[in-house]
């Protein structure tokens, strides 16, 4: 693409991303830092990767925000609020933005980098849908590694409904990607692209659950006994480590899922 056209697309993407970030901030889907990060991410994905990857990013964000707002039964694990901050936005969209950047810098390998964009977004969509739809399940979640019953909202806890949500989320992004960028995403046709991206998304969500079960940090409040992903509980008392590694928080887990999705999609569509 000529440099002038690329700059014009980046400028247009920046304007549209700013409008979406502003609307998300007004609706309290994003914090102030989250809206800035979303603007940067949206500009990078749509401006450097193209409008089709930009649509996939919006599809992820809009569907995830809608699901989180329609709610479900409350988790027994304390999490951060519904407003996504800059770190959360980067953890979910950073890999897609990097792949979009590389697609602009490396024209010869552009299709494989676009597959990375789609795979990473399929993974974070699958993971988010699994969490939000799984909250509606009446079944008791079970730890993915042991099958033992766990409180709702536990990292690594899965249900049949949540698993179905994960598959559905991956399929939505995969089908949209195959429809929007069939010529660039693969030389094997739209069906192969959709299948590969869906598998990448499911793989990313699976990795998220496995790391969440084995390594993600959780804290127990010594005052009220609440299990939380936050180092300081809602009651204001610093928590004690219940399990996991201190540096492996939910953002690290989400980043690992996105990276897995990108890697699997690139492997499947580049081989």
pLDDT at residue 261, rounded to an integer: 98
In a domain, 157, yes or no: yes
In a domain, 35, yes or no: no
pLDDT in tens, 160-215: 999 999 999 999 999 999 988 755 444 567 888 899 999 999 999 999 999 999 99
The domain containing residue 143 runs over which residues? 52-270
In a domain, 6, yes or no: no
pLDDT in tens, 244-266: 888 899 999 999 999 999 999 99
In a domain, 15, yes or no: no
In a domain, 185, yes or no: yes
Q: Kindly give, in sequence order, each residue whose CB lies less than 8 Å from that of residue 211, ignoring residues fewer than 6 positions away.
A: 248, 252, 253, 256
Residue with tokens 């569509």: 269
Whether pLDDT at 231 is above 50: yes
Q: How many domains does the chain have?
A: 1
Highest mean pLDDT among 14-23, 62-71, 233-242: 14-23
In a domain, 25, yes or no: no
> pLDDT band at residue 22, thresholds of 50, 70 and 90?
very high
Whether pLDDT at 61 is above 60: yes
pTM here is 0.91
In a domain, 122, yes or no: yes
């Amino acid at each position: 693409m000529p440099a002038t056209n690329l700059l014009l697309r980046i400028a247009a993407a920046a304007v549209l991303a700013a409008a979406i970030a502003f609307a998300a901030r007004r609706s309290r889907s994003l914090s102030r830092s989250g809206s800035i990060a979303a603007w940067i991410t949206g500009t990078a994905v749509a401006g450097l990767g193209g409008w089709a990857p930009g649509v996939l990013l919006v599809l992820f964000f809009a569907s995830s925000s809608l699901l989180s707002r329609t709610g479900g039964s409350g988790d027994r694990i304390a999490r951060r609020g519904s407003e996504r901050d800059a770190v959360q936005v980067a953890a979910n969209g950073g890999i897609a933005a990097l792949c979009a950047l590389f697609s602009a810098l490396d024209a010869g390998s552009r299709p494989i980098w676009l597959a990375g964009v789609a795979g990473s977004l399929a993974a974070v969509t699958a993971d988010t849908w699994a969490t939000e739809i799984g909250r509606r399940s009446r079944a008791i979640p079970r730890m993915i590694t042991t099958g033992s019953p766990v409180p709702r909202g536990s990292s690594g806890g899965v249900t049949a409904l949540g698993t179905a949500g994960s598959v559905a989320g991956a399929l939505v992004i995969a089908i949209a990607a195959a429809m929007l960028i069939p010529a660039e995403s693969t030389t094997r046709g739209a069906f192969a692209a959709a299948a590969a991206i869906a598998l990448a998304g499911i793989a990313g969500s699976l990795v998220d659950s496995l790391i969440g079960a084995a390594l993600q940090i959780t804290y127990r409040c010594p005052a009220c006994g609440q299990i939380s992903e936050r180092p300081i509980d809602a009651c204001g008392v610093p928590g004690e480590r219940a399990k996991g590694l201190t540096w492996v928080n939910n953002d690290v887990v989400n980043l690992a899922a996105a990276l897995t999705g990108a890697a699997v999609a690139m492997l499947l569509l580049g081989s």
